[in-house]
Structure 1
Amino acid sequence: MRPNRALQVSMLGVGFAFLYIPILSLIVFSFNESKLVTIWTNFSFKWYAALVDDDELISAAWLSLRIAVLTAFASVVIGTWAGFVLARFGRFRGFTLFSGMINAPLVIPEVIQGISLLLLFVEMGNLIGWPAERGIMTIWIGHVMLCISYVAIIVQSRVRELNPQLEEAALDLGATPLKVFFAITLPLISQALMAGWLLSFTLSIDDLVLSAFLSGPGSTTLPLVVFSRVRLGLNPEMNALATLFITVVTIGVVIANYVMQRAEKRRLKPVA
């Protein structure tokens, strides 16, 4: 093996070890019988059983999952249109303002976004009576505002790679622009939509800062519960919970990659 090649492999191995050894250790210690998370005693499913009986964690997990799913779908719908406009409509009047508004959540700290939305909802509640209280709706609005930008960028880059002659041919054959978008463009950017959905889901279910500002009594998300408990010390139940999330996310990513690879092969398959 050449020296340069050996150095590259070594650096790659160090990078992967730095990223994945902590995750592997977390998974291993989730099966530790001891209450001390850093001292191994015996193999046990004790903390998984305790996790099942933890009503607060389960309730927070279901709330986070509902918000994440709603956020992912709403972000894909709105972000797709925004990305398509940025990629295909050229520099129209107000383009700079529109682009800046779409990209703003990427550069504005979440603390600022959280404070701004909190003040907005408080003022709206005083003026029109909505929202009456902060909860799942206000958290969902905040997460959608954050995730739209990521979906728009993904869709915008994918749309710019498309061959416009395909859409022009459909228009020449009598299809309406709306028909072309749903019949031609959407299938071609389906991988970008799936990537945007997964990214939005992950950002939403993992968000702590916006949720802290926009949540109210009875609407505590999973990151808030985990953060409040970790501040009091490491808990073996957190290892078990993290292991379950890692497993679910890994399975989801593998399935998504498989579906996208099959779609890409079908798209590139030559017409007989």
Structure 2
Amino acid sequence: MMRIGLFLLTNLAVLIVFSIVFAVLSRVFGLSGVFGAGGLNYTSLAVMCLVWGVVGSMISLFLSKWMAKKSTGTVVIDVPKNGTEQWLVDMVARQAKAVGIGMPEVGIFDNPQPNAFATGWNKNNALVAVSTGLIHTMTPDEVEAVLAHEIGHVANGDMITLALIQGVVNAFVMFFARVIGNFVDRVVFKNESNSPGVAYYVTSIVMDILLGILASAIVMWFSRLREYRADEMGAKLAGRDKMISALNALRPAEARPDTMPEAMKAFAISSGQSQSFSIAHLFRSHPSLDDRIAALQKLH
């Protein structure tokens, strides 16, 4: 639940910042394009929310590789120092060529738990990184499958698609939060002036939080879907048996604590999902390993 909470808080922080900035600009500069004699201008509001939502997500996307390196301590392999590093670079190069994308940066981060992630703002400027735990505990065939899974994320354009979905979802949340805020302000609190009252701003912020939590379920649904697609690509590039073996090797081990930063777990190949279903399942970034293996076993 800590991982889920931190993800939601990060996204809600964007919405709350928007609420505060929007409130200040409305009070200080009037924002006559959004509020007029007839109250809220829905067209202007929709445009503003879309711009804020998408631009915020795009900024996060462009900074994703830099933030991933800093948060995980990933060291990029510029010049391989040993046979293992050379093998990793060569394997990624072969797989990238097979799917027709540019050579990603290849890195290693210190984490005793076997894990890996891919990020970057486009297919030809990505980063694929693996943990020290993955290198030390998995067989070469399993590491090959994990790399193929991450290359699948890059080739499928998952990073930019996820950012766009998050941006559009945020835009809808911002828009409807303010529509509800306007309704409460004018109908419940009987504000008949051309300017929004305090009730508008308070309600908008509260609805940003509530709608933001509900909207996160949509983003997490896509995140789970992209894991299945990346597993399928991993099976295509490395072989289904290797991909299944790699997923089995990712099962959480209490003896190897996972030090992957919470903000990066949605991008990792494993986030320690349990099989049981609950409301929290709607907010999980990954399907359970059992579900992923079952999906691979159905492939022909």
| TM-score when normalising by structure 2 | 0.28
Greater relative CO, 1 or 2 (CA 8 Å, sep 6+): 1
As a proportion of its length, which structure holds more helix?
Answer: 1
